[in-house]
Structure 1
């Protein structure tokens, strides 16, 4: 990061040192991860409890396997979203905040993808059970996953490209 480079004050409109920028980006990263982390942890908690309900034993094998896959995805999502905190704890004080921010960004992206898959899997399981119509369940769950893909991945890329094109 340099003062005049693509990540410097000229690009951001801010006048901050590289350390101030790293501190700000880390604080923003923590705010972002708190929201997703909480949702993932609550969802995982509810998912774990499903196996202990009386109706679980009566689920068809497909639904039990879907449940297991969904719980595992939820555990991966939670792990990826909590990992930046562990990284910070181990790397704090070593002057590695820019590296920490890059790694945390990748972990958060991984956590969000696995969270979207977890939500879609849980929704599929719920809708298969609630509607009794597997086709409807697949269509609605697929639509929700497409919505997550569009709003969480595609839309930010479109905004980024349009902004970059305007700056040229």
Structure 2
């Protein structure tokens, strides 16, 4: 079972769930805006003349990146939809637990989408192994900043669980 974050002083369990869910939705709004803008950019690329001239590698990479953006969007929007469907059924704790997993998975797909987009641009701009290095460095940067750093910042007792 996933433990919920600690309560604020004098906070009831119901108020804590409401606060935690509200905080999660605020965080998701930030990520959703980014992935939706990126998704629109990736979608528009297909309808440009230069796209037709790109290699199969770039076109395949573009498709995978689009699918990653779609997965990210679906995962980041799901908690709001679940809440709308289930909020009157007193399922907020279940929604919050699963929404946290969706947010993390959606962030992972967003990192993959952003890295894929950088790789596409680098492949068109410079190509070859330099583009692959740029894409790999971008991916490592996102994984490190978004996932490794928070793990290092967690209290030691949480790491042992």
Q: TM-score, normalised by structure 2?
A: 0.91
Residue 19 of structure 1: how far off its partner (Å):
0.0
2:115 aligns with 120
Q: TM-score, normalised by structure 1?
A: 0.88
- Output the CA distance in 2 between the equivalents of 1:65 and 1:54: 17
1:3 aligns with none
- Say how many residue pairs are matched: 156
Quick one: which of 138, 141, 145 aligns to 1:147? 141
Residue 13 of structure 1: how far off its partner (Å):
5.1
State the Cα RMSD in Å: 1.5
Residue 135 of structure 1: how far off its partner (Å):
1.0
- 1:110-143 CA distances to partner (integer Å, 9 max, x unpaired)? 1000000011111101111012x32111111111
Q: Is there any run of 5+ residues in structure 2 with no aligned partner, and where?
A: none
Query: 1:1-168, aligned counterparts within 5 Å?
Result: 7=4, 11-12=6-7, 14-131=9-126, 133-162=127-156, 164=157
Residue 12 of structure 1: how far off its partner (Å):
4.5
Runs of 4+ in structure 1 over 6 Å off: none
